[in-house]
Amino acid sequence: MSSQELADRLIALVSSIRVEDFFISPGSRSQALVLAAENLKQNGKAKTVVRIDERSMSFTALGSAIASGSPVAMIVTSGTAVANLHPAMLEAHHAGVPLIAITADRPLRLRGKGSNQTTLQPGIFDQRVIDHVDLQGLDDLEETKQKLIDSVRNSQPLQLNVCFDLPLSDKSGASQYLQRIEIPQKEIKTTRIDCNFKGVVIAGAGGEGAREFAEDAGWPLFAEPSSGSRFGSNVIENYSELLTNRTRDIQKVVVFGKPTLNRSVVKLIESMPEIISVASRFGPFDIANNAVQVQSASASGNAEADWLQSWQQPRSVNDSIRESVITKIWDRTEAEDSVYLGASKIIRVADLVAPSKDISVFSNRGLAGIDGSISTAIGIALKTKGMTRAIIGDLTAIHDLGGMNLTELSLPNLQLWVVNDAGGKIFEQLEVKEEVEPEVFDKYFQTPQQVNFEKIATAMGWGYELATSEQDIEHCLDIKGPVFIEVRP
């Protein structure tokens, strides 16, 4: 068996579980894998996307996977290249995304011997939660096939670590090994829930299905912006401000997905003797140890009409510039467009003000990191027919400036809206702000930065716009991407 034959059979196997896209970063040990992916591409069986930095590459892959709903694969060389995939792999684990990391390695006999660029790679992404295979040869392909099927079926990431000896590559014939692999569907049991109560439906990340349930039950729907359920007539946009005073009116709570944005929701859940938690790809949700877990739920009976009406009240106005950006973007977004929301304040303001509308909204809520947001948005843009508009904070942008490098990418139609309020505004809400000197708060929490975003955008080949007024925001909405729109309050 040559390195190339192992790589050809492996890449064909990965492609056979309906992976269309291979995301690749350059390297030597991985060359046979890359040639195999290129062979599939030349035969019209796969697409390849190259990104120089593995961390950017992996978040781009993650973005593509969440926007397309399909598994994607990544190919990297050995050593620290592998470790750079870790944040995206963790997000994929907590968000339930089949992200397949194919990591090239040296042969087993060289592990732990001081060989160049060699570390203990198999299971590096925490083998307690992320499965892996350590492939030494063709005999390991059967186990690999089973784990690939499980990864797609259970929406979970997987590491395929592959050991390659010299010679590292040859002419690839990967496409001859393609096969048809069926992924068995999971059986899902639906539980009927008695809804003759004053109940509410909460839809967190991965909360698809909540709208139908809320409408059948006649219950108000508290849907986070990236839940996939913030549309229809039962949505209560300003639920977070209303909840504070109304927790005691609520008799029953059904949660779809994983809510992460509101302390008022946490308090409500903690106040209930029992909630019903409907399974989602984001995994089990039971933060107060009071959840009855069901696989799927349907409503039986419904609340009286005045229950829903009692929640339909006008909201108070808050943070003006973020609010304008969000409401104008919501208004302009059509069915073929996408929106990406960064972690921190922006998604919380969107949670309060974004109108009920059936559009595609994404956010990394598995672990709510501020890393990899630009790259995730690029991945979403690669899978979006229309325009992708990402809205993030300035520190979030700084975290992933390297992701703006567009080398080898087809130019994404992406607008990157960066609300530059000089640091992490979210920390102003923390108790610590009241407890320490302003200089201490600035240095360790807010971290006001003075990066010249215009120069960076220009250096990276992006368009650049500065928006400081309602008119500026309006003017920027239709500019073709890639464009960096710096919003200054």
Ligand X SMILES: Cc1ncc(C[n+]2csc(CCOP(=O)(O)OP(=O)(O)O)c2C)c(N)n1
Spatial separation of the C-alpha atoms in residues 236 and 53, rounded to whole Å: 42
Q: Are 163 and 135 in contact (CB under 8 A)?
A: yes
Q: For the chain, how many residues are written? A: 489
Give, rounded to a whole angstrom, the gap between the first and last alpha carbons of the chain. Answer: 62
* For ligand X, the closer CB: 249 or 428: 428
| Least Cβ distance, residue 371 to ligand X (angstroms) | 4
**Minimum distance from residue 426 beta carbon to ligand X (Å):** 3
* Least distance (Å) between residue 396 CB and ligand X: 3
Q: How far is the CB of 376 from ligand X (least distance, A)?
A: 12
Distance CA 201, CA 277 (A): 10
Measured in whole angstroms, how far is the alpha carbon of residue 323 from the centre of its chain?
23
At residue 332, the 3 state secondary structure works out as helix
The H or E element containing residue 474 is helix 470-476
Residues lying near ligand X in the complex (CB under 6 A):
343-346, 368-371, 393-396, 421, 423-426
- Name which of 278, 414, 287, 397 is nearest 338 in CA terms: 414
Considering the complex, what minimum distance in angstroms separates the CB of residue 382 from ligand X? 23
Shortest distance, position 322 Cβ to ligand X, whole Å: 8
Cβ closest to ligand X, residue 262 vs residue 413: 262
Distances in whole angstroms, Cα of residue 85 to Cα of each of 43, 53, 102, 379 = 28, 10, 10, 15
**Cα separations (Å) of 341 from 54, 417, 441?**
22, 10, 26
Radius of gyration for the chain, computed over Cα atoms and rounded to the nearest angstrom: 24
Cβ nearer to ligand X, comparing 299 with 418 = 418
Alpha-carbon distance of 224 to 204, in angstroms, equals 5
260 vs 360 by CB, closer to ligand X: 260
Cβ at position 147, least distance to ligand X in Å: 28
Nearer to ligand X, 393 or 403 (CB): 393
Alpha-carbon span 367 to 92, nearest angstrom: 9
Q: How far is the CB of 395 from ligand X (least distance, A)?
A: 3
Residue nearest to ligand X (CB): 393
> Residue 92 is inside which H or E element, if any?
helix 86-95
CA distance 449 to 465: 19
DSSP of 374-439: HHHHHHHHHT-SS-EEEEEEHHHHHHTGGGG--TTSPPP-EEEEEE-SSS-GGGGGSTHHHHS-HH
For the bound state, the minimum distance from the C-beta of residue 257 to ligand X, rounded and expressed in Å, comes to 19
Tell me whether residue 242 or residue 391 sits nearer to ligand X (CB atom). Answer: 391
Q: Which is nearer to ligand X, 199 or 423 (CB)?
A: 423
Q: Which is nearer to ligand X, 237 or 371 (CB)?
A: 371
Minimum separation from the CB atom of position 211 to ligand X (A) = 28
In terms of DSSP bridges, do strands 190-194 and 199-203 run parallel, antiparallel, or are they unpaired?
unpaired
Give the torsion sign (CA, 443, 446, 451, 456): positive
Shortest Å, Cβ 14 to ligand X: 29
Structure tokens at 47: 């697409």
Asked if 46 and 57 count as a contact pair (C-beta separation under 8 A), the reply is no
For ligand X, give the closer residue by CB, 287 or 409. Answer: 287
Which CB, 11 or 57, lies closer to ligand X?
57
Judged by beta carbon, residue 55 or residue 345, the one nearer ligand X is 345
Per the CB < 8 A criterion, the answer to whether 51 and 57 are in contact is: yes
